[in-house]
């Protein structure tokens, strides 16, 4: 039930009208039933005075309240149209109406500051995006330029290796060169994927299988090390909408980082579990950990503390996860280990599904 809305002018006029009526009543009483001419005169003057005062009050009220209200309405309309330089003049008044004016002016000033801040941030973001796009184009161009001669070199090395006698000490050198070529190729692939991302091809499928596949590959990588990789899948997890190839890559990047962070014997645990509307993939290791001052940097492209790292692994992982509308969280204790949590919504937001179909 809505309360009855009474216009402020009516509210202001009601008491005045009441006084006015009293005045008129006195006036009529005086003229009709009072016989004493002296009192008669007094009442006549009093009644007339009351009427005059009420009329004057009405005029003053209209001036004091109506004008600021009209101005306020006009300025609100201007703010609504986007003019944030609008301010009301009655803010200098030393009463409630003045308070209202000052609050209004302050609110508009805050809106103006917020808008300027948003515009400034937008400009910075735009220029950053432009820089990144240029950098991306440069990187992909360069990667392609390097890949072709590299394939040629790899072919030549292959032939040389084949022709070498089995006992030749040069075989070790050829093997090393092959390894280095594979490493350069790996860097170029990462670079190309970072600079020219493919939109995810999202399908509803079993997340346990995707993760398990990455765990199996990581176990192969860690064969020569005393590292145990444990996998705990989520029982009864509904199918999760994801690009299995890309999520597989995220997992592999996290697992390789964990393997590389462990010196000597250690353990990596990979868990999949439901987390509200999302599925969580948790990768924890007993590696060297990440100092708190490095934590804000680890997702930045090209940030690496490794001699042969590109620093693209985590930035790529985060981009993929964000394209899935998920997020990656990390906690780490130096000397104890790190824990990466990947949260993927089980279903894409409805708006995106509508856009696709």
Rounded distance between C-alpha atoms, residue 193 and residue 199, angstroms: 11
3-state secondary structure of 337: strand
Closest separation between CB of residue 314 and ligand ATP, Å? 3
Strand partners, 230: 269
Burial of 246 (0-12, 13-18, 19+ CB in 10 A): buried
**Residue 231, contacted partner among Mg ion, ligand ATP, none, CB below 5-8 A by kind:** none
231 near ligand ATP, rule: CB under 6 A: no
Closer Cβ to Mg ion, 144 or 186, answer by number: 186
Q: How far is CA 296 from CA 73, 292, 299, 300, 331, in A?
A: 48, 8, 7, 8, 11
Rounded distance between C-alpha atoms, residue 94 and residue 159, angstroms: 94
Q: Which of 290, 320, 342, 346 binds ligand ATP (CB under 6 A)?
A: 290
x/- mask, ligand ATP, residues 183-212, rule CB under 6 A, reads: -------x----------------------
Rg (CA), the chain: 39
Q: Which of 304, 323, 325, 348 binds ligand ATP (CB under 6 A)?
A: 304
Q: Which of 257, 278, 281, 320 binds ligand ATP (CB under 6 A)?
A: 257
Closer Cβ to ligand ATP, 23 or 313, answer by number: 313
Q: Which of 79, 171, 212, 303 binds ligand ATP (CB under 6 A)?
A: 303
**Residue 242, contacted partner among Mg ion, ligand ATP, none, CB below 5-8 A by kind:** none
285 near ligand ATP, rule: CB under 6 A: yes
Residues between 238 and 257 with contacts to Mg ion, criterion CB under 5 A: 257
- Which of 81, 114, 139 minimizes the C-alpha distance to 310? 139
Q: Which of 312, 321, 342, 344 binds ligand ATP (CB under 6 A)?
A: 312
Q: What's the token pair of residue 162?
A: 């084949």
Q: Which of 278, 281, 338, 346 binds ligand ATP (CB under 6 A)?
A: 338
Closest separation between CB of residue 152 and ligand ATP, Å? 25
322 CB-near residues (< 8 Å, 6+ apart): none
Size of the site for ligand ATP (CB under 6 A): 23
Q: What's the token pair of residue 172?
A: 């070790």
Cβ burial 14-47 (10 Å sphere, 16+ → b, else e):
eeeeeebeebeebbeebeeebeeeeeeeebeeeb
Closest-approach residue to Mg ion (CB):
313
313 near Mg ion, rule: CB under 5 A: yes
Closer Cβ to ligand ATP, 86 or 247, answer by number: 247
Stretch that binds Mg ion, among 197-205, 213-221, 312-320, 327-335 (CB under 5 A): 312-320
Q: How far is CA 92 from the centre of its chain?
A: 40
Cβ burial 128-150 (10 Å sphere, 16+ → b, else e):
eeeeeeeebeebbeebeeeeeee
Closer Cβ to ligand ATP, 177 or 187, answer by number: 187
258 near ligand ATP, rule: CB under 6 A: yes
Summarize as ranges the residues that interact with ligand ATP (CB under 6 A): 190, 253, 257-258, 261, 285, 287-290, 298, 303-306, 309-315, 338
Summarize as ranges the residues that interact with Mg ion (CB under 5 A): 257, 313
């Amino acid at each position: 039930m809505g309360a009855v809305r009474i216009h402020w002018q009516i509210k202001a006029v009601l008491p005045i009208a009441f006084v006015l009526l009293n005045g008129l009543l006195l006036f009529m009483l005086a003229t009709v039933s009072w016989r004493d001419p002296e009192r008669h005169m007094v009442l006549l003057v009093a009644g007339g005075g009351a009427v005059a005062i009420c009329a004057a009050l009405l005029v003053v009220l209209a001036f004091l309240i109506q004008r600021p209200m009209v101005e306020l309405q006009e300025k609100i309309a201007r703010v609504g149209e986007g003019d944030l330089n609008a301010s009301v003049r009655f803010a200098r008044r030393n009463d409630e109406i003045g308070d209202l004016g000052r609050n209004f002016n302050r609110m508009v000033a805050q809106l103006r500051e917020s808008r300027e801040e948003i515009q400034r941030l937008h400009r910075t973001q735009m220029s950053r995006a432009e820089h990144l796009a240029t950098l991306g184009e440069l990187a992909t161009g360069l990667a392609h330029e390097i890949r072709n001669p590299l394939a040629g070199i790899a072919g030549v090395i292959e032939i040389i290796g084949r022709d070498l006698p089995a006992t030749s000490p040069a075989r070790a050198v050829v093997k090393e060169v092959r390894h280095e070529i594979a490493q350069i190729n790996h860097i170029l692939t990462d670079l190309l994927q970072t600079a020219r991302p493919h939109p995810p091809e999202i399908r509803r499928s079993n997340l346990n299988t995707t993760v398990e596949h990455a765990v199996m590959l990581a176990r192969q990588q860690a064969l020569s090390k005393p590292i145990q990789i444990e996998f705990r899948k989520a029982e009864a997890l509904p199918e999760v909408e994801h690009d299995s190839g890309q999520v597989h890559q995220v997992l592999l990047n996290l697992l390789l980082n964990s393997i590389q962070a462990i010196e000597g014997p250690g353990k990596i645990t990979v868990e999949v579990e439901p987390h509200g509307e999302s599925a969580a993939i948790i990768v924890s290791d007993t590696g060297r950990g990440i100092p708190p001052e490095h934590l804000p940097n680890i997702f930045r492209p090209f940030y690496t503390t490794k001699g042969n790292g590109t620093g693209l692994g985590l930035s790529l992982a985060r981009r993929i996860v964000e394209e899935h509308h998920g997020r990656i969280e990390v906690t780490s204790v130096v000397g104890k280990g790190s824990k990466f949590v990947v949260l993927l919504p089980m279903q894409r937001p409805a708006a995106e599904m509508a856009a696709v179909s």
